[in-house]
Structure 1
């Protein structure tokens, strides 16, 4: 394992301190039902040709200070009652770290978890209470390559906001006059309510089995072939067909492992923007589910059709709601899924997509796009996360299953016809 040395540790303050009128940022209903865990993102860049190590860190520090004036709750503290952020200008944790190996040694070794290298030890997915909601680590490899590790609290942002913040930070680094558009007013759309179930806690309950993660790439051409294989469905999306194939192969692996078919449920999320403004910062998603009760229903065309139907139904229902009806509607959807989970009838999968968020094209801080946005293993049961691949035309899918199921899943011929196991490489 590569060792690291902290070169410096500091708090990055806001360039323009938060006014007293904004001192208390109220969390919304959507924020409060999420665990206060850090959601990690990492960006690996080849050796910058026109910047020294000192210049790189100075650019990041200065632009972070500036962008935080628009993202001021990130420099505050989430209080123990989880209902607000004290925007006290404490600042953001920022580390400069030296890694005693080349970047290629990390990327070309599938046994090494990148999270162990480019973040503070044990930081990803741990609690963000009583510390900076945002933690940044700049890592310098022996080869001159750099990694930017960013951990943001899921208590105050969703995946859309993580991507928007990093994009705005990168744009701020390149353009002196840029000012991000942000509104920390999600609580006006999603006021607090009593009795909300915590869906995340169910899937992070103590595990009796060992779970493992694997990542597969669906190239743009393979996604097009997969879409053409779907019959009776109009214009299936890349996310729909990739999710359906992964689910089918996962259900088959589960059936072979158990000896019989178990009904299967996938919960997925819909971004509530632009139902609310695109610059709304906070958690703003609605959960919906699709179910396969029989083997026939996991067949690709059948399942893609069901995903489309359920997703469109939820979108139509949301579109016809008044703003004050969104929270009760979302709460009802969540309770329905939680009730089904608690009955232990279904094989449960959680699926989310950060595909098409511009994690490569929008994260140029002045020294080019990252060569890799590595996927940090998520400690959840039966989990599917879809990302952009470096081309931003294909999909990288990280799948977490039980160890026994994964041994079957990774040999599935239909999966391997359209998806390739990822072997990390800088070339």
Structure 2
């Protein structure tokens, strides 16, 4: 497959940022987010993709006038300067039929549809764009919109809100436009000088290094999820959620892969999963609160023997999530958040030094609405992320809805030797279909 870039430019907001929003403070959780781009690719089966480009380009300029940080630049560790310097924009022609590309999805080629390398630490923070977009037109006319957002300014819900607003503007809808709030989170959880932290990145344990990794897609249909939830039931968790059951299964298979590769008994295992603070805390946060409005729940499993069960792990996942309630998050306001991050960093540093745990990081994008984003020619036939053997953070797992909304896709990124064992785990294959085809609309 050849992807030929035919144009590159910078898109600036259609109207200047108001003076009182020229500098926006990071919240504490923006500061400790990975300094990397995270990707989304939306596939649309239109037959006239080239004709859509002008519409998308104009509406991108308009949405940037609402999402001011997306066209700004990082000023320092405490704030972003909304200076309207703009977002990176490129157009590409792909000599491939889109549905052939999706039968099944060519995961190893996905990064060619992105405007920059995802999941690699960005060291040029002062001049790095916060948003990069690549519009890919396939030979059949199908269109894939590749988007990379700097994690410093956004979590998954923020990116979803941005894309939905862009789509609303593009299709000229009459509905009220989204009004993002980039200030409440930093008021509640103010930025701090992180130089004193032993571990300045909350994901350093799960993604403690960059390495050549591979990404695989595993799909769990509705029936498989129902069966899995039944098998994950236990004394403490009698009604596991979809997320708890899936996290327990993948965690179990990753622990097994680690044991197989090392030839040693199970080590302690640490799972970190991002939790949306908006839903759990409530006011003054809301669905309009933008940035990294997430806290990480930590689940540690230290097996007494090698007989690891799904109910055991589902219980640990449930207990870790139960601890992240509204009262807990309100305690993070002011100095509370910094004290928590500092104490957690010290604990992790000690654990790494003495026990060397197996570690992994989970993100759950189910129910974020990516499958509903309509720019005026219908919903996407599929939503992809990144793939191939590339330099990346290790041990990354992302859940998202299938295109029909009834199942779940698990995107797993591991080093090659771990993936070779993990993807052949009989427990995983009993429930998941590895990278099935995407249905035509």
User: Which TM-score applies when normalising by structure 1?
Assistant: 0.90
- 1:377-401 Cα offsets, whole Å, 9 max, x none, are 3822222221111122211112233
Task: Give 2:217's aligned residue.
Answer: 215
Cα shift at 1:182: 0.9
Provide closer, same or farther for how the CA distance between residues 120 and 312 of structure 1 changes in structure 2, counting only shifts above 3 A.
Answer: same
- C-alpha RMSD of matched pairs (Å): 2.4
**Which of 391, 402, 406 matches 1:389?**
402
Secondary structure of the residue aligned to 1:308 is helix
| Matching of residue 253 in structure 1 with residue 249 in structure 2 | no
Aligned equivalent of 1:38: 37
Equivalences, count: 419
2:418 paired residue among 385, 405, 409: 405
Indicate conservation of the 8 Å contact 2:301/2:316, yes or no.
no
Please list the CA deviations of residues 78-111 of structure 1 after superposition, one character each: whole Å capped at 9, or x if unmatched.
23x3322221222222212111222234334766
Q: Is the 2:49–2:137 contact (alpha carbons within 8 Å) kept by the matching residues of 1?
A: no
**Shift of residue 312, structure 1, vs aligned partner:** 0.5
2: distance between equivalents of 1:305 and 1:52? Answer: 48
Contact 2:203/2:361 (8 A) holds in 1: no
- The C-alpha deviation readout for 1:310-341, integer Å capped at 9, x for no partner, is 21022254255273234433443454344423
Report the Cα offset of residue 204 of structure 1. Answer: 4.6
What are the equivalent positions in structure 2 for 1:319-334 lying under 5 Å apart? 319=329, 321=331, 323-324=333-334, 325-334=336-345
Gaps of 5+ in 1: none
| Structure 2 unaligned blocks of 5 or more | none
Report the more deviating stretch, 123-132 or 278-287.
123-132
Please state whether the residue corresponding to 1:234 is helix, strand or coil. Answer: coil
Q: Relative to structure 1, is the Cα distance of residues 351 and 338 closer, same or farther in structure 2, using a 3 angstrom cutoff? A: farther
State whether structure 2 residue 253 is matched by structure 1 residue 240.
Answer: no
> How far 1:375 sits from its partner (Å)?
2.7
CA contact 2:37–2:117 (8 Å) conserved in 1 = no
Match in the other structure for 2:364 = 353
| Distance in structure 1 (CA, Å) of the matches to 2:151 and 2:57 | 23
Describe the SS at the equivalent of 1:8.
strand
Distance of 2:332 and 2:396 partners within structure 1? 32
User: What is the CA–CA distance in structure 2 between the aligned matches of 1:316 and 1:69, rounded to whole Å?
Assistant: 33
Cα 1:201/1:409, change in 2 over 3 Å: closer
For residues 338 and 365 of structure 1, do their structure 2 counterparts lie closer, same or farther at Cα, with a shift above 3 Å needed? farther
Aligned residues of 2:120 and 2:210 also touching (Cα < 8 A): no
Instruction: Say which of 305, 311, 319 aligns to 1:301.
Output: 311
